[in-house]
Amino acid sequence: MIKKARKMLTWAGLMLVMGFLLAGCGATPPATASGDLTPKQAAELVYHDLVFHDVGVEKVTVTQCLFEDINTAVVDVTYSTNDGKNISQKATLIKLNGQWQIDGHDH
């Protein structure tokens, strides 16, 4: 009887540990990714990139931020230029060495 109870407790403990591992691994990346980059930070990255490329920009707004994985985000960007144009586009942001940057822009 004691052997059977011990075996059941061991089995239940193992299942509990496995459940925590599976639930923890499945839930962690999206929460970490979404809390790591805000729309305001994404807008600042795009703004500084446009200024670097001599685009006369007045305001940059990020309306949506979709995380493909923990190191990749696609953002919907709208910005107004100094000559009055409103431009909307998508930008892919990647996280390299702990820093977010625009994909393909190494400056």
15 pLDDT above the threshold of 70: no
Whole-model pTM: value is 0.64
Which tens digits make up the pLDDT trace of 20-70? 545 444 444 444 455 689 999 999 999 999 999 999 999 999 999 999 999
Domain limits of the chain? Answer: 1-36, 37-102
Q: What average pLDDT does the chain have?
A: 81
Residue 101 has pLDDT above 60, yes or no: yes
What is the dihedral angle through the alpha carbons of 87, 81, 49, 91, rounded to the nearest 10 degrees? -10
- Residue range 58-84: mean pLDDT, rounded: 95
Judge whether residue 81 has pLDDT over 90: yes
Do residues 46 and 79 touch, judged by C-beta distance below 8 A?
yes
Can you tell me the distance from the alpha carbon of 95 to that of 37, in angstroms, rounded to the nearest whole number? 10
Strands 99-102 and 72-81, by their bridges, are unpaired
**Confidence at residue 103, expressed as pLDDT on a 0 to 100 scale:** 87
Question: What pLDDT is stored for residue 87 in this prediction?
Answer: 96
2 falls in which pLDDT band (50, 70, 90)? confident
Stretch 12-16: mean pLDDT, rounded? 57
